[in-house]
Amino acid sequence: MSINIHKMRYLPLVAALALAGCGGDDGGMGSASALSSAGAPQPGSTPTVTTPPSAPPPATANVDKSVPPVELPDTVVPVNYRLWFRPNDALNAFDGRADVEIKVLKPVNNIVIAGHRIKFANGRVTLQPGNIQLIATPQDKGDYYQLRPVSGTIAAGNYSLHMEWSGIINFKSYDDPVTKTGGSCGDDPYPGCSAAEGVFRVDLKGTDGKTSGAILTQGETNLARQWFPGWDEPAFRPTYEVTAEVPQSWRVVSNAAEKPSTNVGGGYKLVQFEKTPPMPSYLLFFGGGMFDTYEDNFTSPLPGGKGGLHLRVFTPPGMSDWAKPAMDRTKQALDFYYRYTGIPLPLTKFDTVAANDAFKEQKDLNFGGMENWGSILEFADDILPQPGQPMSQYGNEVLTHEVAHQWFGDLVTTDWWDDVWLNESFATFFETKTTIQFFPDQFSWLDQVKNKYRVINRDIGPNAFPVAPNFNDWASNDFVLSASAFTYDKGGHVLKMLENYLGEQTLRHGLQQYLVDYSFGNGTPKRLWDALSKASGQPVGPIGDSYVRQTGVPLISLDTQCDLTKNQTVVTLKQQPFPNKNAYPGLQWTVPLTLAYGQGLAKHTTLALKGTQTQTRIEGCTGVVADPSGLDYYVVNYSDAAWSGLLTQINTSTDPVLLANLKSEAALLVANNLAPASRSTSIGSVASPAAMKLRQTPSFGGIAPVEKERPTLRYQGMFKPRKTVAQ
C-alpha cells in the first residue's frame, strides 16, 4: 500500500541502486576489486535485467510456509469463501452472505471471527452438516464475535459455515464539520477517520462533468472485517469466489476474472468471479460503477510465455483514452518483475482501477494506492494524465510500487503487521529500481543521499520507531503506529545496504529463493534472512535484525595508520550509537561495511563489524572512505589522520554522490558537536562544485522532501506472541 502526505502524497523510497560489491568478512585483509572510477555507481547508470530472465532456484524441501495467527484462535481454518453481497440503491448500506468451507482442527465451544460495523441476521448463522444454529455474540474487547452453538460443542471436522449480515457503505461525513463530531467519522472509534474502509463509496466524475456513485473496497490493515466477517489477519489464506448484485449499467472488477453476468430484474444483474488464489482477507477487492476501460495484453518474457495476462485500466467515464500511459507503465513494471523474479503471477488478468479524486481531496485519506492481488487501486489524477501528457513521477512510482506488491506482499505475505516492512520496504525499494530502469530523467542520485539523512534525523529523534517493532513489548488494543517513514524508507535503505554488501545478483537470487519457498504463505524476517544467507553463504540475520528491530543509527569511528614495513594501511573501526533522543535506543549493530581505497578510491573491501571494534589491513598506504556508494545506513566519523588521507584521494571529479554523502555526513557530525566545523568546510569546497556539475546533467530529477509525518496505520487487537518473533 502507498501512504500519502499532505493530499496524502506518498514520498517514494529513496534507496538507490548501486553497483554491487562483494560479500563481507569478519575483518582482516578483505577481498579487493575495482569499482567505477569513483568507487561507486555513477549517476545515470541503470540496473541490469537478465535477458532472458534467470530461472528461480528450486524450492527448499519441507519448508513450513505457515505462521500461527496472532489474534484469532488456530483451531478453525477457513479454506474457501463463497461471498455474495448487494449494495442498496442509496449506496450507503449493503447486504452480505457467505458460505465458508472451514476445517475445525479440534473440538471447540465456539468459532471466533472478526467483524466490525456489521449486523448478523437473526437465525441466519448456521453450520453444516447437522444444521447447527450458531449465535453471534460480540466479545468484550476488539472486533470479534463468538459463533456459539445453542448447546454442546463443535466436533473436529470439515464444515460449511453460512452467515448473513448487513453492513455500512462508508462515505466520509461529519454531522458538524467544525467540531468533527457525529456522522460516519465522528462515530469512528479510531483516530484519523477515513471513509476508505471496508466497502466505501466514491463519486466518479466523467469528462462531461456528470457524477455517478460507485463503490470500492479497502481491506488493509484490518478493514476487510467491515465488508465480511471472518479470519481477518495475514496468517489465514483461503480462496474466494465473489458474487455481487449490482446495477445493470455498472462495470465491475475483482481479484479474479469475471464470469458472464445474469439479469436478476429490477435493473440489477448478478456478476460472478472465478476463484482467487489463496490469499489473506485484506487483499480481497471489489469495485463497481460507471467505469470505462482501456484494455491490452501482457506477453510474459518467461520461457513459453508462461504467465501472460489480460490487462485493463478502469477509468471514470470518458477517460479511457487517458489510460494509455498507465497501461504502458503497467506492462513495463510487469516485465521488469517477471524478469527479476522469474516467477509469473498465478492470475489470468491484471486490472488497475483509477478512481476520481473528489474523495481523495479529503485531508485524512490514509492511502494513495492499494495492492489488491490482480486488481490494484490507484487514483485518477496520479495515473491518468490528459491525452498527450506524460504520467507524473509520482504516478510512475505509485503504480510500480503496487505492482511490486504482487510478489512482495501478495504472493508472500507478512506474518503480522509489525513486520509489514516485509511488504512495504520491498515495494519501495523496487520503486527506485524501476524508476532508474525506465525513467532515469526522473531520478536523482543526490536526492537519495538527502533523503537518507532526513530518515536518519527522524531515526535519532524522540519519535523514532523500529522498522519491525515487537507489539507485545509496547502495544495495546487500538494501537496507533506513526512509523511509516521507517517501515517504508528506513527499511528500504537497509535493503539497499544489503544489496551493496552482498551484491546485486546475490540479493536477487536470495529474494528468488524467498519467494519460491514461501509462495502462497507467509514471510518473516528470519525466513528472509535465511534465504539471503543461503544465497550469499554469509550470516545475514545478525545484520538485518540489528537494523530492523531497534531504532537509531550506528556511528562508526574510522582511523588509519600506515604500516610502512608492510606497505599496508591499518584501519581501526569502532561503533557506538549515534547520539539520539530515542526512549529505547539501539545499542549495537552488526554493520556491513564497504571500504574504498587506492588511487581514485577504485579498490574496495567489505567486512562486517560485529562487535564494538575491529581492525583490518588494506594494501598500500592510502586514504580510505567507508560507504563509497553514499547510500549505506551508518554515519562515519573519521579521525583527523583518516580525514586528511581521504582528502588526498578526492577532488571535484570524484563521484558527486560520494561527495554529497561526505558533505551531509560532516554537517550532521558538526551539528552534534562530534567533529570540528572545519570538517564541513573542507569537504564543502570539493562537494559543492561536483554537485552543481551533476545537477546540470539530463538525468537529474527531484524528489519532494518529507514535510510532515505520514498518517498513522491502525492496529487493533492483542499483543503479538513472543514465540512468533523469532520465526
Q: Cis omega (within 30 of 0) on the bond before 247? A: no
Residue 575 phi/psi, 5-degree rounding, is: -130, 150
- Quote the crossing angle between the two packed helices 324-341 and 504-518, to the nearest 10°: 90
**Residue 502 near residue 540 (C-beta atoms within 8 A):** yes
Q: Does 245 count as an annotated binding residue? A: no
Classify 578 as helix, strand or coil.
coil
Q: Show the cell assigned to 319.
A: 477517460
User: Cβ-count burial of 258 within 10 angstroms (0-12 exposed, 13-18 middle, 19+ buried)?
Assistant: middle
Distance CA 371, CA 491 (A): 19
- CA–CA distance, 719 with 477 (Å, rounded to integer): 8
Cell of 390: 506524460
Grid coordinates belonging to 477: 488494543
Report d(CA 664, CA 667) in Å as an integer: 5
Are residues 496 and 631 in contact, defined by beta-carbon separation less than 8 angstroms?
A: yes
Kindly give, in sequence order, each residue whose CB lies less than 8 Å from that of residue 372, ignoring residues fewer than 6 positions away: 219, 255, 283, 284, 285
Strand ranges (E), 75-188: 76-87, 93-104, 111-114, 118-120, 126-128, 132-138, 144-149, 157-168
Catalytic residue among 220, 233, 241, 402: 402
Active site residue 197: no
Q: Are 391 and 383 spatial neighbours (Cβ–Cβ below 8 Å)?
A: yes
116 annotated ligand binder: no
Report which of 386, 356, 387, 378 is spatially closest to residue 212, judged by C-alpha positions. 356
Q: What 8-state DSSP symbol labels residue 2?
A: B
**Whole-angstrom Cα distance, residue 379 to residue 370?**
10
Distance CA(568)–CA(491), nearest Å, equals: 36
| Annotated binding-site residue? 604 | no
CA angle, corner 88, sides to 8 and 217, nearest 5? Answer: 30
539's enclosing H/E stretch is: none
Q: 594, 23 in Cβ contact below 8 A?
A: no
511, 486, 485: which is closest to 499 by C-alpha? 511
The answer to whether residues 660 and 691 touch, using CB atoms and an 8 Å cutoff, is yes
Backbone dihedral angles phi then psi of residue 429, each to the nearest 5 degrees:
-55, -45
Closest CA to 11 of 464, 401, 500: 401
As a 3-state breakdown, the chain gives helix, strand, coil percent values, each rounded to 5, of 25, 30, 45
Q: CB under 8 Å to 19, separation ≥6 — which residues?
A: 35, 36, 40, 41, 45, 504
Residues contributing to the annotated binding site for Zn(2+): 401, 405, 424
Q: Give the residue numbers annotated as catalytic, written as ranges.
A: 402
Binding residues: 401, 405, 424
